[in-house]
Homo-oligomer: A and B are copies of this chain.
Amino acid sequence: MIMKKLTLKDVAKQLGVSTATISNAFNRPDQLSASKRTEILDACKRIGYTGPNRAAQILRKGQSNIVALVLADSLDYMVTDPVANTFIQGVSRVLRENHKHLLLYAGDSESIIDVVDFVDGFICYGAPRNPDLSVQLKQQNKPVVTVDFNLEGSPAINIDNEQASYEIAKAALKPGDKVAILGLRLIESPNTCRIYDSPLLDAESSITHRRLDGYFQALKEVDIKVESDWIWNLPENAGMYAVQAAKEVLSCHPRPNVILCMSDIIALELLQCALSMGIDVPGELRITGFDGIEEAARTRPYMATVCQSSVEKGMQSARLLLSGENKSMSLPYEVRLGETI
């Protein structure tokens, strides 16, 4: 039996009360007697009215209980990235507790106008690939929380990428090492390649440039130079690019004996590649990662890396958004020495 969906008005008529009373029964318990309320709610359940239409509520109240999570790039890349999906996990946990829903939004979308009118706010994870989004986000007035980058006027959540990178590099390096760096989104390029003297992408605000700064600081202290033809750029944190870079760097003559990787995904592919070439790690080659994803603890030898809690980041950013406060915060990290250095 298919029947037309009941409206609040229909129900009010059927029960012989006003529409306001029905509405109040669902939304504002304090506006009517408890007995009347349960009476109405029971009657609604009986006749099959599940409550006010959400689309109408969204328009009327200007609130949808939907939070948009703007990811740095297309969902295609982001959703399978263990760092990103652990972050999403954290966000979803807090949203759930607060009866909010999660809309995933790609950072390479054309604009946010598709959703800005109805979502309750934005969590922005990494600088969106399409820079227009940052501008639009600044111009609209729904609350925004940014993570791993900054947007004027909005609270941000970060870790100290520079200091963390400095520490892991410092732990890995010895005087006289031959060092290469496998970096991420350092220059504008759709391909895996060495950076040479390409113009740097977003050099002040991007976290990967902070990591680079940290590496350089450590390198300087042990008096090692890394030329720009020994710094690779990966366009995305994906296995495919990592394999390409790993093969390139491992086939250099002379070969580096330390490789600093800006993510665990990169480091893991490099490790896998090195082992299958019969290279001894860490004897002939030391490797460091970044992020502390789970798989990095499952390899043998297990990875030296910087562990940051993406779950915690996700939870904090969701809490921050829901609280409405404008307080940026820096989260802790932990350097894990592992067996690869």
> Chain A residues in contact with chain B, CB under 8 A?
2, 50-51, 53-56, 58-59, 62, 64-66, 74-76, 79-80, 82, 85-86, 88-89, 92-93, 96, 99, 101-106, 113-118, 141, 239, 268, 272, 275, 294-295, 298, 300
Q: Is there contact, CB below 8 Å, between B101 and A55?
A: no
Please determine whether B79 and A92 come into contact, CB atoms closer than 8 angstroms: yes
* Contact A54 B2, beta carbon cutoff 8 Å: no
What residues on B are CB-neighbors of A300 within 8 Å? 275
Q: Give the contacting residue for A96; candidates B75, B80, B82, B96; CB below 8 A.
A: B75
Q: Which residues of B contact A114 (CB under 8 A)?
A: 54, 65, 99, 101
Task: Find chain B residues with CB under 8 A from A56 CB.
Answer: 59, 117
Can you tell how many copies of this chain the complex includes? 2
Do B75 and A102 touch (CB < 8 A)? yes
Across-interface contacts of A101 in B (CB, < 8 A): 103-105, 114-115
The residue of chain B having its C-beta at the shortest distance from the C-beta of A105 within the complex is: B101
CB distance from A239 to the nearest CB of B (A): 7
Once the chains are docked, how many angstroms separate the CA of A76 from the CA of B92?
7
Cβ contact of A104, chosen from B80, B104, B117, B275, cutoff 8 A = B104
Known A80-B82, A82-B80, A298-B272; contact A88-B103, beta-carbon cutoff 8 A: no
With both beta carbons as reference points, the residue of chain B lying nearest to A294 in the complex is identified as B239
Q: Please, how many angstroms separate the alpha-carbon atoms of A92 and B106 in the complex? A: 9
Q: Which residues of B contact A105 (CB under 8 A)?
A: 101
B118 lies within 8 A of A55 (CB): yes
